[in-house]
Structure formats: C-alpha cells, structure tokens
C-alpha cells in the first residue's frame, strides 16, 4: 500500500489536471485571459491585443466556439471581454446568451481585436492579452498551463509596437522586429513532488482506498453525456453517428469495438463542433479527457465489470495520461490522442483482467504504433485521429492479453516501459519541433 502522504499528493495532481472545460481548451484559455484583463481594466475594453504562441494559434484557428456557431479566436476573445468571468476557469463562457453573442459579433465587426504571434518566447503555451480603454491599459498573461496566470513583463508594449502580425482572416505572417524576450516560469503541473512511474501509477490506481479515488467517476458523467449530446445535432463531421449507422454496422458489426469508437468520436464531434456542453479534460485537453474516459466506460459497461473495477480503470487511464504529459509538455507537435489512447489502452487491459506485466505490454504496443502522429490544430477532424488512437488502444490491449508485446529489438521500444514512454515524449517534445513550425506555416499560408 502506498503511504497516505504520497496518495494525497497524487490525488491533488489528478484533481488539478482533470477539470471541466467548455469547448476547446486553447480558445477558452485565450477567453479566460481576456476576461482577467477586462476585470483588471474595470470596464469593457475599446481595443484588445492578443499576443499568442504559435501552438495556441495552431490549436485555436479552426475549432468551433460553443454556443456561437462560429469558429476561431475573434469570437472567443470578444465574448471573454463581454461575459467572461475568470473565476469560471475553462468554463469562462458558460454565461453566454443570444444577446451577448450579438454583441460579440458587433465587437468583431468594429475591428476592436488584433491577434498577433508573440515573438522571442520559448514557452509553447503563452497568451498575453492587452486590454485598452481611454488611454488606460491592463495586461494579463497565461503561460505554462491553461489556467496559470503570471505577472506581465515590463515594460508593457505600446499598442502598435512592431510584431509579427497575423491578419484576422489568416494568411502568411510578415516578419518585423520582435517583441521583447520573455520566458515563463516552469509550468504549474511540475509541482506537488510526485515522481511518477508507470509502476506507481498502477499501484496507486489498483490499491488506493476506493473512497479516495471515487471522484474520478465524474469523468464518466461529463464525457459520456457529451457523446449523448452529439446525437441531438449535427456536430463536426458526425463521425460518431456515422459509425452507428446501419451501413457502418454492416462493416464493423454491432460490437464492443464499434461502440467504443462511436461513443468516443461522438463526444469529440460535439466538443469540436461547438456544442455548449462541458467535458472533463485531462492535462489541459478536453479531447484527451474524452479519449481517456469513454473507451474505458463503454468497455466496462459491455464487459459487465464492477463499479470498483471501472473506477480503478478510469484512474489508471487518466493518471497514465498525466504521467506521459509531464515529460511531453502541455502543447506539442505530437497529437494528444496518442497520450490519452495509451491511457485508455491501459484501462481496458486492466478491465480485461490484465496485471502490471500485461499493462506494460499494452503501453509498448501503443508506442510502437502511434508515435509520430502530428497535431495540426484543434478542429472537427480531431474525431478522426481519436478514432485511430482508440482503435489502436483496443488492439494493443488485446495483443497484450494474448501475451504479445513489441520487443526492444523493434524501433523506439525499450525493455523498460518508462524508458519507452520517455522515448516517445522525447520525439514529441524535442524531435518534432521543426514539424510544428512547418504545420503552422502551412496552416497560415493556405489561400495565399
């Protein structure tokens, strides 16, 4: 049994990283920062300048904003200023009304918002909002994690300072002189003194007193509800609904596998398509939260696992994803579904009756397959990538239960499961940096 102090630290870590969010976390992060800058200003800004890291831009350009029927950052920023409350964190826009939406549209049409690429920073998650009214200005900064506010740098750049600017309609950034260098403090998730390993993750999830970890069951309530919400409308590419239709069942069958990918894709469809519904995120990503939750819940229900087994499997899935993200970073060139699908594969393996050895095998099978899947921003087609990840998760779990495991003679897999994980995250965090730059260049150059 893990000692109580260690258990409490792990629980605090999970509660910090698994939180509700409405909509994609990147535009919600920008809206949250706008809300804080507006609160500091004390009135609605006449003009807002958003200085953003490339990864924030990439993940916020093509995603639906809940309840608006609109896509992208301008409406998120406008609503952050009009109705946003920073106390709501990633549910910052939950007070949206039709009247506020119309006001937000007018705010955009009046060209009050300037969105720019922040230069001279190394932090991949960086949002700086400058709110101005009648010569008064206030700045709010989020860096390191989606809700971590930091002090503004000095001096605050004047409006109109030379930057590398992105037009509201997109397009190729034009290089001018850079902003002052500013590197954020370490991300907030690096605290709590928990030195995670897969063994510790497994031991905690499988031995902690049930009442201490029962809270993780709330992820099922949120994320399976998002899957049901998708059935009420036509969100995104309707991938989940497509998989449920008769033609697809003639191909996939009416199977547990079919139900797993349908329920997971549906929740992503609703979230990326702008449904006004919260999901439980993991490590700053709603899609990662969905991917770590829904496959485990569907399998547990159809395999008739006990409530305790489901709770422990959910904790195993979410904590595995948190462990992997610690060395990968909040935003990276590696698609987050790779991380969360490894978590769900671990959870499903446990529900199949797998021990620690089988779980290690499922992780290695995942690392051997999905490494290198790029993140090209948050958007409706994320449901396609989630489906690929979850399909691989089920396959990897099945292989591990058959005693099959990719060996250290193959690719980046190592004899040590933790080393295999760190090989994966080293590629995502360090090796794929040029990929990130190329992806953003392609995304901002389309139509030019």
d(CA 167, CA 114): 8
Over residues 207-233, the mean pLDDT reads 95
pLDDT tier, 192 (very low <50, low <70, confident <90, very high otherwise): low
Q: Which of 363, 331, 334 is nearest to 349 (CA)?
A: 363
Task: Name the percent of the chain lying above pLDDT 90.
Answer: 62
- The residue with tokens 């995942």 is 366
Over residues 342-362, the mean pLDDT reads 98
The pLDDT assigned to 145 comes to 86
The pLDDT assigned to 187 comes to 42
pLDDT tier, 417 (very low <50, low <70, confident <90, very high otherwise): very high
In 168-217, which ranges are continuous DSSP H helix?
198-207, 210-213
d(CA 328, CA 425): 5
The pLDDT assigned to 341 comes to 96
Task: Using DSSP, state whether 149 is helix, strand or coil.
Answer: strand
The pLDDT assigned to 169 comes to 32
Q: Which of 120, 233, 126 is nearest to 178 (CA)?
A: 120
pLDDT tier, 64 (very low <50, low <70, confident <90, very high otherwise): confident
Over residues 7-16, the mean pLDDT reads 95
Task: Give the model confidence (pLDDT) of 149-178 as tens digits.
Answer: 988 665 444 444 333 333 333 333 333 333
The pLDDT assigned to 333 comes to 82
Structure tokens at 117: 């690429």
Average model confidence (pLDDT) for the chain? Answer: 87
The pLDDT assigned to 156 comes to 45
The pLDDT assigned to 25 comes to 85
Contacts of 74 (CB under 8 A, 6+ apart): 108, 113, 115, 168
Whether the per-residue pLDDT at 179 is higher than 60: the answer is no
Whether the per-residue pLDDT at 185 is higher than 60: the answer is no
CA 375 to chain CA mean position, Å: 11
The pLDDT assigned to 193 comes to 62
The pLDDT assigned to 448 comes to 55
Of the candidate ranges 78-92, 239-253, 258-272, the one whose mean pLDDT is the lowest: 239-253
- The residue with tokens 């496959």 is 295
The pLDDT assigned to 335 comes to 87
Dihedral angle sign, alpha carbons of residues 231, 237, 240, 244: positive
Task: Give the model confidence (pLDDT) of 387-403 as tens digits.
Answer: 999 999 999 999 999 99
Of the candidate ranges 241-255, 311-325, 400-414, the one whose mean pLDDT is the lowest: 241-255
The pLDDT assigned to 154 comes to 58
Task: Give the model confidence (pLDDT) of 70-81 as tens digits.
Answer: 888 999 999 999
Do β-strands 47-52 and 149-150 pair in parallel, antiparallel, or remain unpaired? Answer: unpaired
More confident residue, 372 or 30: 30
CA 247 to each of CA 150, 171, 174, 252, 265: distance values in angstroms, whole numbers, following the listed order: 52, 40, 48, 9, 17
- Output the pTM of the full model: 0.83
- The residue with tokens 């009046």 is 110
- Encode burial over 405-424: b for 16+ CB neighbours within 10 A, e otherwise: bbeeeeebbbeebbebbbbb
The pLDDT assigned to 153 comes to 62
Whether the per-residue pLDDT at 190 is higher than 60: the answer is no
The pLDDT assigned to 250 comes to 87
The pLDDT assigned to 294 comes to 98
Task: Give the model confidence (pLDDT) of 111-156 as tens digits.
Answer: 999 999 998 888 889 999 999 999 899 999 999 888 899 886 654 4
Largest CA distance in the chain: 69
């Amino acid at each position: 049994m893990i000692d109580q102090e260690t258990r409490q630290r792990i629980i605090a870590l999970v509660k910090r990283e698994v939180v509700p969010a409405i909509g994609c976390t990147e535009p919600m992060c920008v809206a949250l920062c706008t809300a804080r800058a507006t609160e500091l200003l004390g009135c609605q800004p006449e003009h807002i300048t958003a200085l953003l890291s490339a990864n924030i831009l990439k993940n916020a350009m093509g995603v639906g904003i809940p309840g608006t029927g609109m896509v992208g950052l301008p409406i998120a920023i406008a609503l952050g200023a009009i109705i946003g409350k920073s106390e709501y964190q990633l549910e910052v826009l939950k007070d949206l009304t039709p009247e506020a939406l119309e006001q937000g549209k007018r705010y955009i049409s009046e060209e009050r918002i300037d969105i720019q690429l922040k230069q001279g920073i190394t932090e991949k998650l960086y949002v700086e909002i400058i709110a101005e009214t009648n010569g008064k200005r206030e700045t709010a900064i989020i860096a390191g994690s989606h809700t971590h506010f930091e002090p503004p740098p000095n001096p605050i750049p004047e409006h109109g300072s030379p930057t590398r600017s992105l037009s509201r309609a997109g397009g190729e950034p034009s290089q001018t002189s850079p902003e002052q260098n500013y590197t954020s403090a370490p991300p907030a998730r690096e605290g709590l003194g928990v030195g995670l390993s897969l063994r510790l993750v497994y031991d905690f999830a499988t031995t902690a007193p049930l009442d201490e970890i029962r809270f993780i069951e709330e992820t099922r309530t949120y994320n399976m509800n998002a899957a049901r919400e998708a059935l009420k409308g036509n969100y995104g590419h309707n991938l989940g609904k497509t998989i449920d239709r008769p033609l697809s069942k003639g191909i996939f069958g009416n199977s547990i596998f079919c139900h797993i990918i349908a329920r997971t894709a549906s929740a992503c469809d609703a979230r990326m398509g702008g449904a006004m519904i919260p999901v439980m995120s993991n490590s700053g990503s709603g899609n990662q939260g969905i991917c770590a939750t829904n496959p485990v819940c569907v399998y547990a229900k159809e395999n008739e696992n006990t409530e305790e087994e489901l709770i422990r499997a959910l904790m195993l899935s979410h904590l595995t994803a948190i462990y992997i993200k610690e060395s990968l970073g909040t935003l990276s060139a590696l698609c987050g579904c790779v991380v969360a699908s490894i978590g769900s594969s671990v959870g499903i393996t446990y529900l199949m009756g797998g021990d620690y050895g089988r779980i290690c095998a499922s992780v290695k099978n995942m690392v051997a397959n999905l490494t290198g899947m790029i993140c090209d921003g948050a958007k409706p087609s994320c449901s396609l990538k989630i489906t690929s990840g979850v399909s691989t998760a089920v396959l990897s779990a099945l292989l591990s239960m058959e005693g099959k495991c990719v060996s250290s003679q193959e690719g980046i897999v190592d004899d040590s499961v933790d080393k295999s994980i760190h090989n994966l995250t080293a590629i995502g965090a360090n090796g794929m940096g040029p990929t990130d730059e190329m992806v953003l260049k392609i995304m901002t150059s389309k139509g030019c």
